[in-house]
Each structure stands twice: as C-alpha cells, then as structure tokens.
Amino acid sequence: MIKRTMLALVLALGASAPVTAMADQPGPDWMPVEQVKAKLLSSGYTSITKIEADDGHWDGEGIKNGQKMKFELDPKTGEILGEAPH
C-alpha cells in the first residue's frame, strides 16, 4: 500500500513539474552567428542583446537608432526578414 502511495505521489509531482522548451539548433548550412552579428552591426544596429535559432530562422533583439528592436533574419544570408520595436 505504501509503495502505491509513493508511486502515485512521484507521478503526480512529475506531472506538475515545469516544462522547459528546448532551443532550436542552427542548420549546417546556416550563416554562423558571428557573421550574422557583423551583418546586423553594418546595417545600423549598435548592440545585439540576443540571437538564437528559432523556427527556421535567426531571431533576436538589439539596439538600432537608440531603440530596442526585435528582428528575424534569413538563416543562410543574414538578410533582415522583419524587425519591429520591442
């Protein structure tokens, strides 16, 4: 009886544990992150605060023209697909 109670407790605690999302991984043919950062800096960003692989593209945040921005980049060319104030 005690074993069943302990098993039920362990299963209940495991089911309620927070789930952490796994970050996506860049593809083998993606532009390296350092080149992406350099391209962003040459396009007017003064600081890159976050960049990660997400849903098939580079996704990140930075400062452009003194404003916090979010951006999405083509993974192979580093071209800006979209950007918006954050």
Provide the number of structural domains found in the chain. 1
Q: Give per-residue pLDDT as tens, 11-65.
A: 444 544 444 455 689 999 999 999 999 999 999 999 999 999 999 999 999 999 9
Residue 18 placed within a domain? no
| First-residue to last-residue Cα distance in the chain | 55
Report yes or no on 42 lying in a domain: yes
Query: Is 57 a domain residue?
Result: yes
Q: DSSP string covering 1-60, please? A: -HHHHHHHHHHHHHHTSPPPPPPP---TTSPPHHHHHHHHHHTTEEEEEEEEEETTEEEE
The answer, as to whether pTM is greater than 0.75, is no
Residue 22, pLDDT score:
58
Token pair for 62: 């930075």
Asked, for residue 13, whether it belongs to a domain, the answer is no
Answer whether residue 8 is part of any domain: no
| 28 assigned to some structural domain | yes
Residue 2 pLDDT > 70: no
CATH of the domain at 78: 3.10.450.40
Boundaries of domain holding 39: 24-85
